[in-house]
A = this chain, B = another copy of it.
């Protein structure tokens, strides 16, 4: 114990906890190995969705989707590519934010925004591109909304020498040019969805030429294009394999926290489909699940505008608006829920990944919802005092820290948060939310 305390003290003058590339984890953690027997099975109610997935998903991904092994060796090529995109990411001690909360908590941030694409999404696109290549595919397809997932797929595909066809929701294609350009710089091919390239897309456009598109439509475009042209379709959230790939963040974080003799009392993060939060939390949960005793507190934050975790129902629902995929038992506000146009695009999803939903139903993971104003206050504060601009999604986790700090006693609790992405390409959204342009007009704007 004394040794641990000394170690922690030794680190006190530093902010950054590095993990060298040679010490990177060599296995993924698959939570199905510990809770798989309790997980409600997917339902193929159309009689076609399983067959479709078998055709379009990479074989290796499909196998992992139903694996109940708890530790899965990471193929060397995947580990190599993780290093190429700046993994392991550091953990940052957010000392100025601690001061803001009266030094009542210790705050550690797992910085997923440090990857080259700027978010945790690359943790899953690299393995999926690897398995697509192993199948002999020449290209991968996927859908993207704001473009975080799409840029992660474009880069992963290029690193493996594959092409990528990214179907981007048309309204975002027009309104989020920076992430689209990023995909182009990575060598990705971006198509507005609904797309002229698929029968589905042409059908929509014939009826409604000005359709703004939706994530559900983009999924159908991407799946159909892969099916028709012999590519592989890759999935950016919700499914078991995706959550497993993203465990790389939590596995690194465990090593990093151990290296400084700290053990988190709270593991927190934001939830769109759940893979960001699961990626950090599950590797910490492992020992507790195996021991049958939960000793840490796990708290996930969503958007109050899409309150699936706090007001949704735990029931079977489609993961996609198009209803081509199997039904899953999830906390959901309904696959036809139309979310308001919030800036944290990554939180707009209607449901929570099956394994995370199960953990929530058992009370192992707690849920909070915060609205945009509450979250964005912290985005600005963090930028100013810590110097790093969080993604809009990420900023939804800060109010959890406020809650913890308010209740903290004399022993400082240790909080570990998933800093899911940076907000450099979301600056226009912040400017709009904070009225930067209007505020500066008085100062002589032309």
Residues of A participating in the B interface, judged by any CB pair closer than 8 Å: 13-16, 18, 20-22, 80, 83-86, 96, 114, 116-118, 155, 158-159, 170, 173-174, 177-178, 180-182, 184-187, 189-192, 195-197, 210, 379-380, 383-389, 423-425, 427-428, 430-431, 434, 436-437, 440, 443-446
Contacts and interface: CB of A to CB of B under 8 A. Distances in A.
Contacts of A436: 180-181, 184
B14 A192 contact: no
A225 to B, nearest CB: 12
A184 B15 contact: no
**Copy total for this chain:** 2
Contacts of A181: 427-428, 430-431, 436
A443 B193 CA distance: 11
A178 B384 contact: no
Contact of A158 (B86, B210, B385): B385
Contact of A387 (B159, B196, B386): B159
A434 B184 CA distance: 10
Nearest to A188: B384
Given A178-B428, A185-B380, A173 B385 contact: no
Given A116-B388, A425-B424, A428-B177, A195 B444 contact: yes
Which label, helix, strand, loop or mixed, suits the secondary structure of the A interface? Answer: helix
Nearest to A443: B191
A191 B22 CA distance: 47
A14 B18 contact: no
A334 B14 CA distance: 45
Given A15-B83, A178-B424, 8 more contacts: A13-B21, A18-B20, A116-B387, A158-B385, A182-B389, A182-B427, A185-B379, A192-B445
Nearest to A384: B187
A445 B116 CA distance: 27
B18 A18 contact: yes
Contacts of A114: 114
Nearest to A165: B443
A75 to B, nearest CB: 15
A150 to B, nearest CB: 13
B389 A14 contact: no
Nearest to A444: B196
Most buried by B among A13, A379, A423: A13
A427 B183 CA distance: 10
A387 B84 contact: yes
Most buried by B among A20, A22, A181, A424: A181
